[in-house]
Amino acid sequence: MVNEQPIATTPSLSVVIPVFNDWDNLDHCLAALARQTNAPNFEVIVVDDGSDFPIPGQLLNWSDSYPLTIVRQPHTGISSARNTGVRIAKAPVFVFVDADCRAQANCLAALEAAINKSLALSSFQLRLVGDCSTLSGRTEELRLATLQEHFVQRDGSIRYLNTAGFAIRRTNVDIERGLFDPAVLRGEDTLLLVQLIQSGQAPLFVPDAVVEHTVPQALTKSLRKCFRSAYLEAGTYEIIAASGFKIRISHPERIQLLQSMWKASSDCSIRRLPWFILVFSQALQRLISVGHSWLTRPAWMRRSPQPIL
């Protein structure tokens, strides 16, 4: 099923949004795009990745605010859904956001300015923030702010990629093959980051193009989602490690990040509790990753005794 509105002129940006059973968040995401100020001409492509029910009819009303294309595919994963969106997109620049994201009012205008100013660069990482009105949101804000500050390089590029807010020029994408590895269930953005860095094209960080990433308000639900992602991402990190590229941070870097987070948590808008939640969740994520690596080893490797030194 495809619902497509005619486009009077070729858009400057194609915003691609994959969705799976997340209609309420998608409604907020589409509403945020309708509130863009001084935005370039853009289209929005929603790819329904085999949700249990078709997109609610009222969401189609957002086509009054911008050209909106909706396509439904069998449930094959978020990477496949984004690749489907790329094949439909018409603009010279693809912008990826998730259904649980809300672009701030000046986001697309700031992104366009950065794209036009940096003609030699191929990809752009938007700045991600959390909703500080909830505990889960403050935890996400602390995590995102610290990571982005840590990975920004002196030349303005960033060794961090999150498809909650990421853009890339069409000329750097194999449209038919797709941008993301459909076999990777989670961490596909990290795998793409490795490929970009290896080709000398790390994304440019665009701090004025802001996207709010919402997380479940219930802390237990948020942690459960985080742990599930950690398990699925572990396989992706093993693929990256097998390529010989080092993407994981070292233990000294991890300690440095925790120290930076502790300092940032003194801000009255964050407070200390999110820091403890992050330490707890990251420790469990690391255990999940190590456990996944051990379980996926060949049986003979798991049985082999460690050498005595």
Query: 188, 240 in Cβ contact below 8 A?
Result: no
Return the biggest CA–CA distance within the chain: 72
Query: 168, 157 in Cβ contact below 8 A?
Result: no
In terms of Cβ atoms closer than 10 Å to its own Cβ (0-12, 13-18, 19+), residue 150 is: middle
Instruction: Give how many domains the chain has, as a whole number.
Output: 1
| CA distance linking residue 60 with residue 55, whole number of Å | 8
Global pTM reads 0.86
Q: Which of 83, 114, 91 is nearest to 43 (CA)?
A: 91
**Is the residue at 291 inside a domain?**
no
How many beta carbons lie within 10 A of that of residue 203, not counting itself?
25
Which positions ≥6 away from 58 have C-beta within 8 Å?
A: 27
What's CA 264's distance to the chain center, in Å?
23
Which positions ≥6 away from 280 have C-beta within 8 Å?
A: none
- The residue assigned the tokens 């858009």 is 11
**What pLDDT score was predicted for residue 270?**
85
**Is the residue at 209 inside a domain?**
yes
**Is the residue at 91 inside a domain?**
yes
Query: 285, 226 in Cβ contact below 8 A?
Result: yes
CA distances from 239 to 9, 111, 235 (A): 42, 31, 6
**Is the residue at 289 inside a domain?**
no
In terms of Cβ atoms closer than 10 Å to its own Cβ (0-12, 13-18, 19+), residue 296 is: exposed
| Cα three-residue angle 153-156-118, rounded to 5 degrees | 150
Domain extent at residue 12? 2-215
| CA distance linking residue 5 with residue 70, whole number of Å | 9
**Is the residue at 162 inside a domain?**
yes
**Is the residue at 297 inside a domain?**
no
**Is the residue at 299 inside a domain?**
no
Query: Which amino acid belongs to residue 219?
Result: L
The CATH number covering residue 17 comes to 3.90.550.10
Written as tens digits, the pLDDT of the chain (309 aa) is: 555 544 458 899 999 999 999 999 999 999 999 999 999 999 999 999 999 998 999 999 999 999 999 999 999 999 999 999 999 999 999 999 999 999 999 999 999 999 999 999 999 999 999 998 888 899 999 999 999 999 999 999 999 999 999 999 999 999 999 999 998 878 899 999 999 999 999 999 999 999 999 987 666 766 676 666 666 677 777 778 777 887 777 778 888 888 998 999 888 788 899 899 888 877 776 676 656 555 554 443 344 444 333
**Is the residue at 92 inside a domain?**
yes
* Dihedral sign from CA coordinates of 41, 160, 236, 222: negative
